[in-house]
Structures are given as C-alpha cells and as structure tokens.
C-alpha cells in the first residue's frame, strides 16, 4: 500500500555519451503531502557511468545538506561559558 503522506522517488536524467562512456545523472526526491499543502525536497543522488564491460554508480555528496545539518546541530551550543547566556 502506498503511503499517502510521504513519498521517495529516484529519477534518471537523459544519458550523456562521450566516446564509449555513457553517464546518466540521478536525482532523489522526498515529498511530504499534508491536508493543507506539502513540500518536495530534491537533491543530487549520483551518476551511473557505463563503459564497455563495466558499469558503476558514483554517489554525489550533497555538501549543502551536510552544512545545513551541521549548522542546525550546533546552533544552540554556547561557545563561551563566561556569561550567563554563554556569550562573552
């Protein structure tokens, strides 16, 4: 049964061929549907590289997502303990 609130999709883009190498970009998407609206979060996922006799998937590291998670994790951490509120 399909979940009516959350959905995860992987999409393939048009392949690009250079010589004997074919690269197919991949993207991932998370969709959240609520009674009053929703949102979709698209992100790079990787690329499929095909050469004669071999095929591999190369993941893409989403640096922006990593930075947002790091900033969110450390936003309430006081940097100094001198003052009452953790500030100098």
Q: Which residues contact 63 (CB under 8 A, 6 or more apart)?
A: none
State the pLDDT at residue 50: 96
- For 19, 22, 67, 85, the CA distances from 78, given in Å and listed in that order, are 55, 49, 19, 8
In the predicted model, what is the mean pLDDT of residues 40-45? 87
**Is 0.95 surpassed by the pTM of this model?**
no
User: Does position 51 have pLDDT exceeding 90, yes or no?
Assistant: yes
Q: Which residues contact 29 (CB under 8 A, 6 or more apart)?
A: 8, 9, 10, 11, 40, 41, 42, 43
User: Does position 73 have pLDDT exceeding 90, yes or no?
Assistant: no
């Amino acid at each position: 049964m399909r979940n009516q609130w959350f959905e995860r999709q992987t999409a393939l883009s048009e392949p690009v061929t250079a010589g004997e190498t074919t690269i197919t970009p991949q993207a991932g998407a998370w969709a959240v549907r609520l009674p009053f609206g929703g949102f979709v979060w698209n992100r790079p996922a990787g690329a499929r590289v095909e050469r004669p006799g071999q095929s591999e998937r190369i993941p893409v590291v989403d640096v922006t997502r990593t930075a947002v998670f790091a900033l969110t994790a450390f936003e309430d951490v006081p940097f100094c303990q001198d003052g009452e509120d953790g500030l100098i």
